[in-house]
Structure 1
Amino acid sequence: MSVKRETPEPRWAAPPPVGGWTADDLDRLPDLPPHTQLIDSSLVFACSQTVFHSRAVSCLSDGLRISAPACLEVVSRFTIDIDRGNRPEPDVVVVRADAVESLRQTRFPASSVLLAIEVVSDDSVTRDRETKPVKYARAKIPHYWRVEDQDGRTVVYVFELKPATGAYTSTGIFHDRMKVSVPFPIDLDLSAIAPRRRAADPQ
């Protein structure tokens, strides 16, 4: 009779006894789930992606790439270094082109980021509305967008960092079309994020 061997716990199942995980640990720990983030020295895992989330990331990334000047890069779902205990992964980031040093790099410094975008999921509401904006503002990221699905309609909340206060202030709420001038001129058709409706079969 064979005895089934128990699968050992991964190394990341138990955090370090002092200080928690660090930003460097995301590159060193084996077998981490894809798109693992570090928030306040704790590992945060991604939930299953919805159609809305996937389409929003694709549409925003494609639209920004078309509009971005050559001195900027648009990258999807890529971690940024804020400090030792925080390495979040925005759904879309716009960075200075010189931040891309190698095709093998795994993160950008927060100082290179001009715009961070979060597409809200059921499990990320508090992080995207409260936790991450505070951290992005402290890292002096000039622009933050939060994208939400409101009953099948895409809504983008736009924020800009005010140097005098070190906090974000709302500069607009967009539904079907988004047209802004910063961090560069952008004109996006937000209705394209909604799934295409099947035409009714002919009778």
Structure 2
Amino acid sequence: MTELPDWMRPPRAEGWFAEDLDRLPEAPRHTELIDGALVFMMSPQRWWHGEIVTDLTLALRTQAPAGCRVGREMTIRLDARNRPEPDLVVTTAPYDPDCTWFAPEDVQLVVEVVSPESAHRDRTVKLRKYAEAGIRHYWCIEDEDTVPAVHVYELDEPTGVYAPAGIFRGTLQRPVPFEISLDLDKLTPPRSS
């Protein structure tokens, strides 16, 4: 067994903190911080995943009102020990070319496209953590035989947890966080025979 590189060793007994991610240039792309532990995307992403994220990003950008930005590959600093990187985020934060993370209060919608290696985190851990941080809308997109099924959640403010707002197949129409109308079948190319 080979020894761990120095950059993988936590700088303190408590583990990693959110600001530590900006000082780890050696870390692989898409490194997240969950409960003070670094989480790496180690398995290669499927083409399906990339197509969904890209096409959904483009579709939401055409519908987002002024003041909303749609982006990807950015972390959200939920607290001192949690900085997950969702697949897609809709934010009202002003554009800052040097920004490496968003604050939860600036995030309107978080989207996770479920992969086999991220399924538990996306369906349970992140569902809870995004709600606890006060992010009002969360979508979890599942692969149903290469067809996307979007599980939509809204924050129930009195309880601080997400309430299911529907499972969408074929089309998705939502009035929040802004008027959204999507043809989900167009998010992925048809499977070749």
Is TM more than 0.5 here? yes
CA contact (8 A) 1:37 1:79 kept: yes
- Name the counterpart of 1:42: 37
CA distance in 1, matches of 2:39, 2:7: 11
- Name the counterpart of 1:108: 102
Partner SS, residue 24 of structure 1: helix
User: Does 2:57 match 1:61?
Assistant: yes
| Paired residue type of 1:136 | Y
Runs of 4+ in structure 1 off by over 4 angstroms are none
Computing the radius of gyration over CA atoms, which structure comes out larger, 1 or 2? 1
The alpha carbon displacement at 1:17 in A equals 4.5
- Name the counterpart of 2:27: 32
Partner SS, residue 158 of structure 2: coil
Partner SS, residue 19 of structure 1: coil
The alpha carbon displacement at 1:192 in A equals 1.5
Normalised to the residue count of structure 1, the TM-score between the two structures is 0.89
User: Does 2:181 match 1:196?
Assistant: no
User: Does 2:8 match 1:13?
Assistant: yes
CA distance in 2, matches of 1:30, 1:10: 13
Percent of aligned positions that are identical: 46
5+ residue gaps, structure 1? 1-6
- Name the counterpart of 2:76: 80
Residue of structure 2 aligned with 1:131, choices 125, 129, 139: 125
Partner SS, residue 103 of structure 1: coil
5+ residue gaps, structure 2? none
The alpha carbon displacement at 1:194 in A equals 2.7
User: Does 2:91 match 1:95?
Assistant: yes
CA distance in 1, matches of 2:6, 2:170: 45
Q: How many residues align?
A: 191
CA distance in 1, matches of 2:52, 2:63: 17
| Paired residue type of 2:143 | D
Normalised to the residue count of structure 2, the TM-score between the two structures is 0.93
